[in-house]
């Protein structure tokens, strides 16, 4: 795929990827460290075919993914600005997970899981929430996805930042709305989060604290 021209607008730069606006309708998401989007694109097509809200994929090649430019703020941005209430955001997260896990599985190893479904990976579009960032998708037990969402939010809640209060409130509301029994899979969720090669010593300590915070509420 040709590199974006010089005048292309950089919309966002995350931990792994840069996202460029190609035009009013399309973005290019490019992994900085290379990689292959084939697997995540296949899952996006699979869940989209069942009606799950994901951006439409127009082209995929190596580390590049061209998809619908979804209008609207991320759920995180909307929480910070006060445009969405904590309880509504938490309910939406729980509903998205429940809906995703109802998609007929592709293989024989469990439900489709996202494994990174948190407020910065949900765009609140005028037609409803849309889930992005499918890099960590796999198949497995739904409780693992619920435990991971809780743990990711808890990692923000235990870190001292302007988001601490919001994350603490979202975590409690999310666990109240979420289905299943995330306690069952919390250990596996921690193992998965700990396996991140970029985890610093400080993040590892916060992960232990985050695990305690979730454990106390499930
Ligand atoms: N299809 C899209 N439409 C509009 N904005 C997007 C889209 N995909 C990503 N973004 C923006 O780029 C950010 C980073 O994208 P994401 O796929 O979550 O990558 P990362 O792995 O870096 O978190 C998102 O939080 C969102 O602001
Ligand atoms: Mg993301």
The domain spans of the chain are: 9-68, 75-215
> Using CA positions, which residue lies closest to atom 22 of ligand 1?
14
- To which residue do tokens 């921690």 refer? 190
Instruction: Measure 7 CA to ligand 2 centroid, in angstroms.
Output: 24
CB neighbour list of residue 196: distance below 8 Å, 6 or more residues apart: none
Report the chain's mean pLDDT, rounded to a whole number.
95
6 has pLDDT over 70: no
Neighbours of 217 (CB within 10 A): 14
The whole-angstrom separation of Cα 148 and Cα 171 is 11
In short, whether 44's Cβ falls inside 6 Å of ligand 1 is no
Atom of ligand 1 nearest to the CA of 71: 4
More confident residue, 218 or 8: 218
CATH code for the structural domain at 75-215: 3.90.1200
The architecture of the domain spanning 9-68 is 2-Layer Sandwich (3.30)
The pLDDT, as a whole number, for residue 214 is: 98
Going by C-alpha positions, the residue among 87, 104, 77 that lies closest to residue 162 is 77
9 has pLDDT over 70: yes
Ligand 1 pocket test, candidate residues 12, 15, 53, 126, most atoms within 8 A of CB: 12
């Amino acid at each position: 795929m040709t590199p974006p021209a010089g005048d292309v607008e950089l919309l966002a730069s995350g931990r792994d990827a840069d996202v460029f606006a190609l035009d009013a309708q399309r973005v290019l998401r490019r992994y900085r460290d290379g990689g292959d989007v084939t697997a995540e694109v296949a899952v996006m097509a699979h869940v989209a075919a069942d009606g799950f809200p994901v951006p439409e994929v127009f082209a995929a090649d190596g580390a590049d993914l061209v998809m619908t430019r979804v209008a609207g703020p991320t759920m995180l941005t909307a929480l910070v600005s006060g445009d969405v209430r904590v309880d509504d955001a938490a309910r939406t997260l729980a509903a998205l997970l429940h809906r995703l896990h109802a998609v007929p599985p592709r293989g024989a190893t469990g439900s489709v899981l996202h494994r990174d479904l948190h407020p910065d990976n949900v765009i609140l579009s005028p037609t409803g929430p849309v889930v992005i960032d499918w890099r960590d998708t796999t198949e497995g037990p739904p409780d693992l996805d619920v435990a991971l969402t809780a743990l990711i939010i808890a990692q923000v809640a235990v870190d001292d930042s302007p988001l601490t209060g919001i994350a603490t409130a979202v975590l409690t509301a999310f666990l109240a709305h979420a289905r299943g029994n995330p306690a069952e899979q919390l250990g596996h969720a921690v193992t998965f989060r700990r396996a991140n090669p970029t985890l610093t010593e400080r993040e590892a300590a916060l992960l232990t604290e985050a695990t305690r915070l979730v454990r106390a509420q499930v």
